[in-house]
Amino acid sequence: MVNVHGTPKEVKDCHVADHTKKIKLSLWGDLIGQVAQGVSCVLTNLAVREWDRLYLTSTKETTIQVSEEEVQVPESVARLRLEVDQQEEVEEQEEEEVAQEEEVDQQEEEEVEQEEEVEQEGLTTVRGPVCGVKLADQRQCSSCHKGQLAFDRNAKNHRCEACGLLQRVGSYVQGANGTVEVNKGDVKLPLTLTSTVLMTYLSQNDLQELLADVQLLEEHFLEVGLFVIQYNANNEVVVVTTGNV
Ligand SMILES: [Zn+2]
């Protein structure tokens, strides 16, 4: 039981795994009774949190459904459990701290919602059309989500350049990255567009199918018209949305 804004809330930690990795999941309230050990589930709308290391937590929108397909967890991933279990004791001590953190998180979330319109520190916003774009296919590690510089899609396996995990080529997530150029005053400003930011934009606008053809994707950026683009001091796009909404 954890106190959130004065209301007691039940939270329970468990671990979820697929064929690549295992991660801690904090389940809140009614969701706790909806899972069981060894049962494959489809979980939606989880949030990623970081406390010592990354973990998942359920949100108000989270749904849990028993999966029709059983998720296979290989020995190598299942064995990770041992290490994790040994750390469990430490984690339990930390859990109380996490619970307190959670409370702070939720308060912060509310504040963020209120401040959404306020300019974030270090970020610059440009509004206008994209006047030039150059994108290329890129694959992301399904485990650490890092983009891969050299990826041979005809190979059988690929070792992640960031986390070193050897995985099937097909388990890498397709994405694209590159540069978009916008007008800032009188100058043309090239901005780096990472695969993560681009994928967020595409999924928010239900445009994932554009990934099948990079040229179509590029043309999309020229044709949409007005964009609102936030970028950081390194000229990397942090958020891109269409300004037509
Ligand atoms: Zn990786």
Higher per-residue pLDDT: 189 or 92: 189
The label of the residue with tokens 């949100």 reads 59
Collect residues with CB below 5 Å from ion ligand 1: 141, 143-144, 160, 162-163
Quote the ligand 1 centre to 166 CA distance (angstroms): 8
What does the alpha-carbon distance between residue 208 and residue 240 come to, in Å, rounded to a whole number?
Answer: 15
The label of the residue with tokens 């973990």 reads 55
pTM over 0.75: no
Quote the ligand 1 centre to 147 CA distance (angstroms): 8
Note the pLDDT tens digit of each residue in 153-208: 899 999 999 999 999 999 999 899 999 999 988 899 999 999 889 999 999 999 99
Quote the ligand 1 centre to 26 CA distance (angstroms): 23
Q: Closest by alpha carbon to 170, among 156, 189, 180?
A: 156
Note the pLDDT tens digit of each residue in 29-80: 888 888 877 777 777 778 777 776 777 778 888 888 888 777 777 777 776 6
Query: Binning pLDDT at 50, 70 and 90, where does residue 218 land?
Result: very high
Mean pLDDT over each residue of the chain, to the nearest integer:
81
Quote the ligand 1 centre to 97 CA distance (angstroms): 29
Quote the ligand 1 centre to 170 CA distance (angstroms): 14
pLDDT in the model for residue 99: 66
